[in-house]
Structure 1
């Protein structure tokens, strides 16, 4: 019986060194999207697997560096049409994973043993063969090393974010300074340049006009003015109205067309002189006797432009000249106009007055 016990003890003592020399083989799997070689870290559990692997590397970095703990990388691909293409993509995927371990785990290419396969799926495995049975002190050292590595990584990320924000703030301040300098130079240039001779309301182009005095007498009036140069313009205005009341016993009807040529004066071209021609017809019956006929004439005009907005201005104008009116007198008897004679009148004096609202179309 004692011989059996002794034999068991000897066998147990022989097995203890072997057990102490056994090695732990840990495998980490990283998934890839079929037909793609990009390493999506947050995808399909890759982030958690990478954190586990980095922690393992941090606890065994010295052993990995001296070659006692090998890092075995195997790339797999079956999503390509040929074996050569599968092997090429498997190689690229392995390199993507190794790049992350080099950048974030502090490894080098010499620490890896890499193989690629055109079979089994679309993933990369990393196997680390670690001696089994670490002591509590070693485990504590590994844990502290992992925590320190994570703290360093977070500190580096924080510094990178702070540097990025500082660079963005500096770039924003530079842009503001450049914009302020441009605005200052533009203001200085504008102050140094002579004042524009073309104020608001007197710009060259086409203008729409409406004589407010005509409209006040219930006579619609519209006109156009075209600036053919910085001093000269061509314009034409027209009025028309037709009113009757007291069962057509009273009558007020008129139409006129008045072309005009103007010459603008002064540095700001607000004052002007012009020549106007006028032609039209009328029918007035404000009493028992009415008058209807034609008129023709013209004269010299003058005025002043007062801008009241970016595109609006008031045109104060007056014309002096000659008018000739040929008319017939009539009375209305039983609804019929009865001619009472005719007359011709010549007029020398004011032939036009206006307070015209002017709108610069372009």
Structure 2
């Protein structure tokens, strides 16, 4: 009797093992070569083609092959963002959310997919020891399943790719989040995806002309910002070389193109000046000084060259209308002698120029 029990037990265990292996093989056959992984740089949410080109082309070919099924809602595209390179869990979730949206934007822009074609998940942990990746998965039915429409409709729920767990996993972190058609992370707004939130700047071109400039820029959203620069110089005395001048320059900017580096803007300036033979006065005239007020308004164009995570160089040029009301004077034996009084000048042309060093604060870009 004992031998019979042992024999039955061995047969039962063998049947269970065979069933498990068959299920694993069936699962692997279902998934096939349908997992595409895109790598991101730590603390960076920009989707770089370098290093991801081969995977992107493979993804494009799969979408071209199954575009009809995807559009019909029979084959959703699963996009999962993983981030574990930041110190705070909330920051990891937000970064995973932004990266997943970067990948979806590529497919919406270049392959005509819609938001409803995606199922998105975001996780504050690593994926197979990779801390900064976005995984795109297709659940492609086998040939046998494609012959049975009712089986395809009742496609089993996709299993989450296995993740290498930490030595002491916390249940809250490792708990699987339910899949929905909306992102699991719900930040306050998609406008969190802004190259930077606030910047401090100085115009190196004006600084070189001994007109120190300090400014701030607030990035309202990805496309719009408000900038204000102020300049002040107070050099020399009343009876010699002098450059006393102040200037304020507000501007509204619209950032264009995909990378949001090129921009156009509307700006204005107002200030007062008293210059004679200092750098600005020397540019205007070698033996004549000017004092008065000026204002201008016009359009600007510019480009920001990113140097690092926090610094960039801003090149800009403004064109428009300028009006100046002034007195001109010369110096004779250390005494100021007026040449013209209550004059004015109006002209169309350059209103500003800048090569500015920008320090960005609260930025997400590279």
The TM-score bracket by the shorter chain reads 0.3 to 0.5
Q: Report the structure, 1 or 2, having the larger helix content.
A: 1
Give the structure-2-normalised TM-score.
Answer: 0.44
TM-score normalised by L of structure 1: 0.45
Higher radius of gyration, 1 or 2: 1
